Amino acid sequence: MTRRPAFWLWAAACLLGVWIAFRGIGAGVAAFPAGAIIGFALLTPTLLVGVWVLRRLHPVRPRPLGYALIAVAWGGLAAFGLALPANSAFQAILGKTAGPAFSSVWGASIAAPVDEEILKLLGVALLALMAPTAVRGPLDGWGYGALAGLGFQFAENFLYVLNTIVLTGATQDANAAFFSFGSRVVGGAWWSHWAMTAVGGAGLGCLLGRASRTSLAVAAGALLLAMALHSWWDAPVLSGVLMLPVKGAPILLAAVLAYRLARRRYLSHFRRTVHAETAKGVLVPGEGHVLAFRKWRKKERWDVPAGEPRRLLARLRADQLELIEDGLGGLEPDPLAADRLRADIQIVRHRLNSAGDTRVA
């Protein structure tokens, strides 16, 4: 990965985002250290739980932790930092063209959706350039888009902790941190940045998995939908804590619907490929059921002796899942990858069955 220019672009953008963000909020952290520490301590567990949940939402196997952290870091560092001057410049243009009064009311709902959704989705595109097998379809795009949005959400919530301290007179740092956590996380985390970017990510994943005019139209439509959902959330309508569920419901519904469609497409491909590879003799009857469920793969490990047999079993299952997902596409499809995987599966299966007379279905 480090040999690819996209990795260094990702690293440079993250460092630049940190520098810009520090210039913007560093003074606030220094002025209110207690509130900043409390806010960070409250937000960090929610970030960790969110990463765990979004990784586990893959129906067959969790997304690689390294890829997930790359997406989260992009959202929380690069996208967030770069969005600060981008939003300010966009709203300044609105103020000059439409007037200060209009910009103060509607500026956030116009500027933020455009700048932030594009910046967050760039993280999914960079991940695909760094690791072409990471994004092979809408389900991958949905997951990594949601993770990038989650990282952005964490950084923005921390900024709001500092803003709340200032707005409440800078006399009750702890209370302001708890209030901001309650309103931003407890009341708004269910339909925030992760959900908006998940929708756009699903469309981008469709394009990155298999480029065509149709997938390009889907990606453009998904991006516009993500921007519209973001604009709806920032618009000065249905204000108030009691209106949060009403205002957030369309965003959550769109994210859930996009996930269900992407998941159905993935599982349909999974079943077709399992059937085809079973007919070829690469998979044995019943093996597809084990591959489809994490609990069965976990259970079968305990039926195999520890040591080399268990390692061979893990390699066999990894090769089989890689073979199944190879047909989904990606930025750099390898026409010889499937044949290599089939040959490796046969070799590993033979070695596994010979190790301690182990037999694997």
- Alpha-carbon distance of 313 to 351, in angstroms, equals 10
Q: What is the pLDDT of residues 68-127, one digit of tens each?
A: 999 999 999 999 999 999 999 999 999 999 888 898 889 889 999 999 999 999 999 999
- Return the pLDDT at 215: 94
What pLDDT sits at residue 359? 54
Note the pLDDT of residue 360.
57
Question: Please, which pLDDT band fits residue 169 given cuts at 50, 70 and 90?
Answer: confident
Judged against a pLDDT cut of 80, whether residue 187 lies above it is answered with: no
Average pLDDT along the chain: 91
- pLDDT for 119 equals 97
pLDDT exceeds 90 at position 354: no
Q: Which amino acid is at 90?
A: F
Helices (H), the chain: 5-31, 33-56, 65-73, 80-98, 100-130, 138-167, 173-181, 193-209, 213-234, 244-280, 287-292, 294-301, 308-326, 337-354
Q: Tell me the pLDDT band of 298, cut-offs 50, 70 and 90.
A: confident
Position 162 scores a pLDDT of 87
100 vs 358, residue with greater confidence: 100
- pLDDT given at position 361: 55
Residue 357: pLDDT above 70? no
Shortest CA distance to 200 belongs to which of 137, 288, 141, 133? 141
Instruction: Kindly report which listed range (7-11, 27-31, 230-234, 336-340) carries the lowest average pLDDT score.
Output: 27-31
